[in-house]
Amino acid sequence: MESRIGEIAALATALCWTITALSFESAGRRVGSLTVNITRLVPATLLFALYGIAFRGVAIPTDVPADAWRWLLLSGLVGFVLGDLFLFQAFVDIGARISMLIYASVPPMTTILGRIFLDEPLTLLGSVGTVLTVGGIALVVLRPTRPHRPDGVPGVPAVVTRAARYRARGIVFAFLGALGQAAGLILGRIGAGRTLDAFAATQIRVIAALIGFSIVLTVTRRWGRVAAAFSDARALGWIGLGAVFGPFLGVSLGLFAAQNTSAGVASTLMALVPVLIIVPSVLLFHERVTPREVVGAVIAVGGASLLFWVSS
Protein backbone atom coordinates (compact mmCIF):
# COMPACT_ATOMS: atom_id res chain seq x y z
CA MET A 1 0.00 0.00 0.00
CA GLU A 2 2.86 2.38 0.84
CA SER A 3 4.36 1.81 -2.61
CA ARG A 4 1.12 3.12 -4.11
CA ILE A 5 0.87 6.25 -2.01
CA GLY A 6 1.07 8.44 -5.12
CA GLU A 7 -1.88 6.70 -6.78
CA ILE A 8 -3.91 6.84 -3.54
CA ALA A 9 -3.17 10.56 -3.26
CA ALA A 10 -4.27 11.05 -6.87
CA LEU A 11 -7.60 9.32 -6.23
CA ALA A 12 -8.05 11.39 -3.05
CA THR A 13 -7.37 14.46 -5.17
CA ALA A 14 -10.19 13.46 -7.52
CA LEU A 15 -12.56 13.18 -4.54
CA CYS A 16 -11.47 16.61 -3.27
CA TRP A 17 -12.02 18.16 -6.69
CA THR A 18 -15.46 16.57 -6.88
CA ILE A 19 -16.47 18.39 -3.69
CA THR A 20 -14.81 21.54 -4.97
CA ALA A 21 -16.58 21.43 -8.32
CA LEU A 22 -19.98 21.11 -6.66
CA SER A 23 -19.17 23.92 -4.21
CA PHE A 24 -17.83 26.32 -6.83
CA GLU A 25 -20.69 25.54 -9.20
CA SER A 26 -23.14 26.60 -6.48
CA ALA A 27 -21.11 29.72 -5.66
CA GLY A 28 -20.52 30.62 -9.32
CA ARG A 29 -24.24 30.69 -9.99
CA ARG A 30 -24.54 33.42 -7.36
CA VAL A 31 -21.46 35.62 -7.83
CA GLY A 32 -19.78 34.64 -11.13
CA SER A 33 -16.84 32.40 -12.02
CA LEU A 34 -14.06 35.02 -12.08
CA THR A 35 -15.10 36.26 -8.64
CA VAL A 36 -15.05 32.69 -7.34
CA ASN A 37 -11.62 32.18 -8.90
CA ILE A 38 -9.91 34.80 -6.73
CA THR A 39 -12.18 34.63 -3.68
CA ARG A 40 -11.46 30.90 -3.25
CA LEU A 41 -7.77 31.77 -2.82
CA VAL A 42 -8.33 33.98 0.26
CA PRO A 43 -9.33 31.21 2.73
CA ALA A 44 -6.85 28.89 1.05
CA THR A 45 -4.04 31.38 1.72
CA LEU A 46 -5.02 31.56 5.40
CA LEU A 47 -5.12 27.75 5.65
CA PHE A 48 -1.66 27.46 4.12
CA ALA A 49 -0.29 30.05 6.55
CA LEU A 50 -1.76 28.18 9.53
CA TYR A 51 -0.40 24.90 8.22
CA GLY A 52 3.04 26.44 7.73
CA ILE A 53 3.12 27.82 11.28
CA ALA A 54 1.91 24.54 12.81
CA PHE A 55 4.07 22.08 10.87
CA ARG A 56 6.97 24.07 9.43
CA GLY A 57 7.38 27.03 11.79
CA VAL A 58 6.87 29.66 9.06
CA ALA A 59 3.72 31.28 7.67
CA ILE A 60 5.28 31.72 4.22
CA PRO A 61 7.73 29.13 2.82
CA THR A 62 10.76 31.45 2.91
CA ASP A 63 12.98 28.42 3.51
CA VAL A 64 12.26 27.09 0.01
CA PRO A 65 15.19 27.64 -2.41
CA ALA A 66 14.89 30.54 -4.84
CA ASP A 67 15.10 28.25 -7.87
CA ALA A 68 12.11 26.23 -6.62
CA TRP A 69 10.20 29.48 -6.00
CA ARG A 70 10.70 30.50 -9.63
CA TRP A 71 9.42 27.19 -11.02
CA LEU A 72 6.46 27.07 -8.63
CA LEU A 73 5.44 30.68 -9.28
CA LEU A 74 5.51 29.92 -12.99
CA SER A 75 3.50 26.76 -12.34
CA GLY A 76 0.85 28.76 -10.49
CA LEU A 77 0.58 31.34 -13.26
CA VAL A 78 0.32 28.70 -15.98
CA GLY A 79 -1.90 26.19 -14.17
CA PHE A 80 -4.09 28.32 -11.91
CA VAL A 81 -4.40 31.55 -13.87
CA LEU A 82 -4.01 30.86 -17.60
CA GLY A 83 -5.47 27.36 -17.49
CA ASP A 84 -8.60 28.39 -15.56
CA LEU A 85 -9.14 31.57 -17.53
CA PHE A 86 -9.12 29.70 -20.85
CA LEU A 87 -11.26 26.84 -19.51
CA PHE A 88 -13.97 29.09 -18.07
CA GLN A 89 -14.18 31.06 -21.33
CA ALA A 90 -14.49 27.77 -23.20
CA PHE A 91 -17.49 26.95 -20.98
CA VAL A 92 -19.12 30.12 -22.31
CA ASP A 93 -18.20 29.55 -25.95
CA ILE A 94 -18.93 25.85 -26.44
CA GLY A 95 -20.50 24.75 -23.14
CA ALA A 96 -19.20 22.63 -20.28
CA ARG A 97 -19.98 19.30 -21.98
CA ILE A 98 -17.63 19.77 -24.94
CA SER A 99 -15.10 21.68 -22.84
CA MET A 100 -14.85 18.82 -20.35
CA LEU A 101 -14.39 16.33 -23.17
CA ILE A 102 -11.50 18.37 -24.53
CA TYR A 103 -10.21 18.86 -20.98
CA ALA A 104 -9.93 15.07 -20.75
CA SER A 105 -6.86 15.50 -22.97
CA VAL A 106 -4.94 16.63 -19.85
CA PRO A 107 -3.66 13.09 -19.01
CA PRO A 108 -2.11 12.32 -22.41
CA MET A 109 -0.76 15.88 -22.57
CA THR A 110 0.82 15.44 -19.14
CA THR A 111 2.18 12.03 -20.06
CA ILE A 112 3.82 13.43 -23.19
CA LEU A 113 5.23 16.43 -21.32
CA GLY A 114 6.43 14.13 -18.55
CA ARG A 115 8.19 12.00 -21.12
CA ILE A 116 9.84 15.02 -22.76
CA PHE A 117 10.83 17.08 -19.70
CA LEU A 118 11.02 14.51 -16.86
CA ASP A 119 12.19 11.48 -18.87
CA GLU A 120 9.35 9.39 -17.45
CA PRO A 121 8.81 5.96 -19.05
CA LEU A 122 5.75 5.37 -21.23
CA THR A 123 4.73 1.69 -21.10
CA LEU A 124 2.24 -0.09 -23.33
CA LEU A 125 -0.08 -1.04 -20.45
CA GLY A 126 0.15 2.46 -19.05
CA SER A 127 -0.89 3.81 -22.42
CA VAL A 128 -3.83 1.38 -22.55
CA GLY A 129 -4.91 2.46 -19.06
CA THR A 130 -4.74 6.10 -20.08
CA VAL A 131 -6.82 5.48 -23.21
CA LEU A 132 -9.43 3.50 -21.25
CA THR A 133 -9.73 6.13 -18.54
CA VAL A 134 -9.99 9.03 -20.95
CA GLY A 135 -12.41 7.06 -23.12
CA GLY A 136 -14.63 6.30 -20.15
CA ILE A 137 -14.61 9.94 -19.07
CA ALA A 138 -15.47 11.03 -22.61
CA LEU A 139 -18.37 8.56 -22.70
CA VAL A 140 -19.74 10.03 -19.48
CA VAL A 141 -19.26 13.67 -20.48
CA LEU A 142 -20.64 13.28 -24.01
CA ARG A 143 -24.15 12.44 -22.90
CA PRO A 144 -27.01 13.66 -25.09
CA THR A 145 -28.57 16.96 -24.08
CA ARG A 146 -31.96 18.41 -24.91
CA PRO A 147 -31.60 21.44 -27.22
CA HIS A 148 -32.89 24.84 -26.11
CA ARG A 149 -34.64 27.16 -28.53
CA PRO A 150 -33.72 30.88 -28.45
CA ASP A 151 -36.56 33.36 -28.02
CA GLY A 152 -39.12 30.66 -28.77
CA VAL A 153 -37.97 30.26 -32.38
CA PRO A 154 -38.88 26.69 -33.41
CA GLY A 155 -36.24 24.44 -34.92
CA VAL A 156 -33.21 26.58 -33.98
CA PRO A 157 -31.30 25.07 -31.02
CA ALA A 158 -29.31 27.64 -29.04
CA VAL A 159 -26.25 25.38 -29.04
CA VAL A 160 -26.14 25.47 -32.82
CA THR A 161 -26.30 29.26 -32.90
CA ARG A 162 -23.59 29.58 -30.27
CA ALA A 163 -21.39 26.95 -31.92
CA ALA A 164 -21.65 28.77 -35.25
CA ARG A 165 -20.23 31.94 -33.68
CA TYR A 166 -17.79 30.70 -31.07
CA ARG A 167 -16.98 27.05 -31.79
CA ALA A 168 -13.46 27.62 -33.17
CA ARG A 169 -12.43 29.95 -30.34
CA GLY A 170 -14.01 27.70 -27.70
CA ILE A 171 -12.21 24.60 -28.92
CA VAL A 172 -8.88 26.42 -28.94
CA PHE A 173 -9.51 27.82 -25.44
CA ALA A 174 -10.49 24.41 -24.05
CA PHE A 175 -7.29 22.86 -25.39
CA LEU A 176 -5.28 25.78 -23.97
CA GLY A 177 -6.98 25.23 -20.61
CA ALA A 178 -6.04 21.56 -20.69
CA LEU A 179 -2.50 22.42 -21.75
CA GLY A 180 -2.27 24.95 -18.91
CA GLN A 181 -3.28 22.30 -16.39
CA ALA A 182 -0.80 19.76 -17.79
CA ALA A 183 2.06 22.26 -18.03
CA GLY A 184 1.30 23.59 -14.54
CA LEU A 185 1.59 20.09 -13.10
CA ILE A 186 4.89 19.46 -14.87
CA LEU A 187 6.33 22.84 -13.79
CA GLY A 188 5.20 22.16 -10.23
CA ARG A 189 6.87 18.77 -10.33
CA ILE A 190 10.12 20.34 -11.53
CA GLY A 191 9.99 22.99 -8.80
CA ALA A 192 9.00 20.68 -5.97
CA GLY A 193 11.13 17.73 -6.99
CA ARG A 194 10.53 14.58 -4.96
CA THR A 195 11.22 15.97 -1.48
CA LEU A 196 9.77 19.49 -1.09
CA ASP A 197 6.70 19.65 1.16
CA ALA A 198 3.67 19.55 -1.16
CA PHE A 199 1.71 22.08 0.93
CA ALA A 200 4.59 24.57 0.89
CA ALA A 201 4.96 24.13 -2.86
CA THR A 202 1.23 24.63 -3.43
CA GLN A 203 1.25 27.72 -1.21
CA ILE A 204 3.76 29.30 -3.58
CA ARG A 205 1.52 28.41 -6.54
CA VAL A 206 -1.45 30.01 -4.77
CA ILE A 207 0.58 33.18 -4.17
CA ALA A 208 1.28 33.32 -7.91
CA ALA A 209 -2.43 32.80 -8.61
CA LEU A 210 -3.40 35.65 -6.27
CA ILE A 211 -1.01 37.96 -8.09
CA GLY A 212 -2.17 36.79 -11.52
CA PHE A 213 -5.90 37.06 -10.84
CA SER A 214 -5.40 40.46 -9.16
CA ILE A 215 -3.85 41.70 -12.38
CA VAL A 216 -6.73 40.26 -14.42
CA LEU A 217 -9.37 41.85 -12.17
CA THR A 218 -7.57 45.20 -12.27
CA VAL A 219 -7.33 45.17 -16.05
CA THR A 220 -10.96 44.12 -16.47
CA ARG A 221 -12.14 46.45 -13.67
CA ARG A 222 -14.13 43.78 -11.86
CA TRP A 223 -13.05 44.39 -8.27
CA GLY A 224 -16.55 45.74 -7.56
CA ARG A 225 -18.05 42.31 -8.23
CA VAL A 226 -15.58 40.72 -5.82
CA ALA A 227 -16.50 43.21 -3.08
CA ALA A 228 -20.20 42.54 -3.65
CA ALA A 229 -19.64 38.80 -3.23
CA PHE A 230 -18.63 39.29 0.41
CA SER A 231 -22.20 40.33 1.22
CA ASP A 232 -23.52 36.95 0.02
CA ALA A 233 -23.13 34.63 3.02
CA ARG A 234 -24.31 31.54 1.19
CA ALA A 235 -21.86 32.06 -1.67
CA LEU A 236 -19.03 32.61 0.82
CA GLY A 237 -19.94 29.36 2.56
CA TRP A 238 -19.71 27.43 -0.71
CA ILE A 239 -16.45 29.19 -1.60
CA GLY A 240 -14.97 28.38 1.82
CA LEU A 241 -15.87 24.70 1.48
CA GLY A 242 -14.47 24.60 -2.04
CA ALA A 243 -11.29 26.35 -0.93
CA VAL A 244 -10.58 23.72 1.72
CA PHE A 245 -11.00 20.80 -0.68
CA GLY A 246 -9.64 22.62 -3.75
CA PRO A 247 -6.64 24.96 -3.52
CA PHE A 248 -5.67 23.62 -0.06
CA LEU A 249 -6.21 19.85 0.07
CA GLY A 250 -6.89 19.06 -3.58
CA VAL A 251 -3.99 20.87 -5.20
CA SER A 252 -1.56 19.84 -2.45
CA LEU A 253 -2.54 16.18 -2.72
CA GLY A 254 -2.31 16.46 -6.49
CA LEU A 255 1.26 17.72 -6.30
CA PHE A 256 2.07 15.08 -3.67
CA ALA A 257 0.71 12.46 -6.07
CA ALA A 258 2.86 13.82 -8.89
CA GLN A 259 5.90 13.60 -6.58
CA ASN A 260 5.25 9.94 -5.77
CA THR A 261 4.12 8.51 -9.10
CA SER A 262 4.51 9.46 -12.74
CA ALA A 263 2.86 12.74 -13.75
CA GLY A 264 0.80 10.99 -16.42
CA VAL A 265 -0.62 8.40 -14.01
CA ALA A 266 -1.39 11.06 -11.39
CA SER A 267 -3.09 13.28 -13.95
CA THR A 268 -5.18 10.42 -15.34
CA LEU A 269 -6.45 9.32 -11.93
CA MET A 270 -7.24 12.91 -11.02
CA ALA A 271 -9.23 13.19 -14.24
CA LEU A 272 -11.89 10.84 -12.80
CA VAL A 273 -13.82 13.83 -11.43
CA PRO A 274 -16.48 13.76 -14.22
CA VAL A 275 -17.25 10.16 -13.23
CA LEU A 276 -17.11 10.60 -9.46
CA ILE A 277 -19.37 13.64 -9.61
CA ILE A 278 -22.33 11.64 -10.99
CA VAL A 279 -23.70 10.35 -7.67
CA PRO A 280 -23.48 13.63 -5.70
CA SER A 281 -24.96 15.46 -8.68
CA VAL A 282 -27.96 13.13 -8.55
CA LEU A 283 -28.34 13.61 -4.79
CA LEU A 284 -27.81 17.38 -4.77
CA PHE A 285 -29.13 18.52 -8.15
CA HIS A 286 -31.46 15.57 -8.95
CA GLU A 287 -29.76 14.88 -12.27
CA ARG A 288 -30.76 11.75 -14.18
CA VAL A 289 -28.14 9.01 -14.60
CA THR A 290 -28.25 7.14 -17.92
CA PRO A 291 -26.91 3.65 -18.77
CA ARG A 292 -24.34 5.39 -20.98
CA GLU A 293 -22.91 7.12 -17.89
CA VAL A 294 -22.78 3.84 -15.96
CA VAL A 295 -20.86 2.16 -18.80
CA GLY A 296 -18.49 5.11 -18.98
CA ALA A 297 -17.86 4.95 -15.26
CA VAL A 298 -17.03 1.23 -15.46
CA ILE A 299 -14.61 1.79 -18.35
CA ALA A 300 -12.93 4.73 -16.60
CA VAL A 301 -12.56 2.87 -13.31
CA GLY A 302 -11.17 -0.12 -15.20
CA GLY A 303 -8.54 2.09 -16.83
CA ALA A 304 -7.70 3.71 -13.49
CA SER A 305 -7.33 0.25 -11.91
CA LEU A 306 -4.96 -0.79 -14.70
CA LEU A 307 -2.86 2.33 -14.12
CA PHE A 308 -2.90 1.55 -10.40
CA TRP A 309 -1.35 -1.88 -10.85
CA VAL A 310 1.03 -0.97 -13.69
CA SER A 311 2.59 1.86 -11.65
CA SER A 312 3.09 -0.26 -8.53
pLDDT digits (tens, 9 = 90+) for 120-159: 777 777 788 778 888 888 887 765 545 544 555 555 555 4
Global pTM value: 0.74
CA–CA gap between residue 260 and residue 242 (Å, rounded): 25
Least confidently predicted of 11-25, 91-105, 151-165, 236-250: 151-165
Position 212, amino acid: G
Give the end-to-end CA distance of the chain in Å, rounded to a whole number.
9
Give the chain's largest Cα–Cα span.
65
Distance between CA 93 and CA 169 in Å, rounded? Answer: 7
pLDDT at residue 36 is higher than 50:
yes
Q: At residue 164, does pLDDT exceed 60?
A: no
196 pLDDT above the threshold of 80:
yes
Q: What is the mean pLDDT of the chain?
A: 81
Check residue 29 and give its pLDDT.
Answer: 75
Which has more pLDDT, 258 or 1? Answer: 258
Give residue limits of the domains in the chain.
2-310
Name which of 21-30, 158-167, 178-187 the model is least confident about: 158-167
CA 88-70-57 angle, to 5 degrees, is: 100
Average pLDDT over residues 78-96: 79
Please state, in angstroms and rounded to a whole number, the distance separating the CA atoms of residues 249 and 84: 18
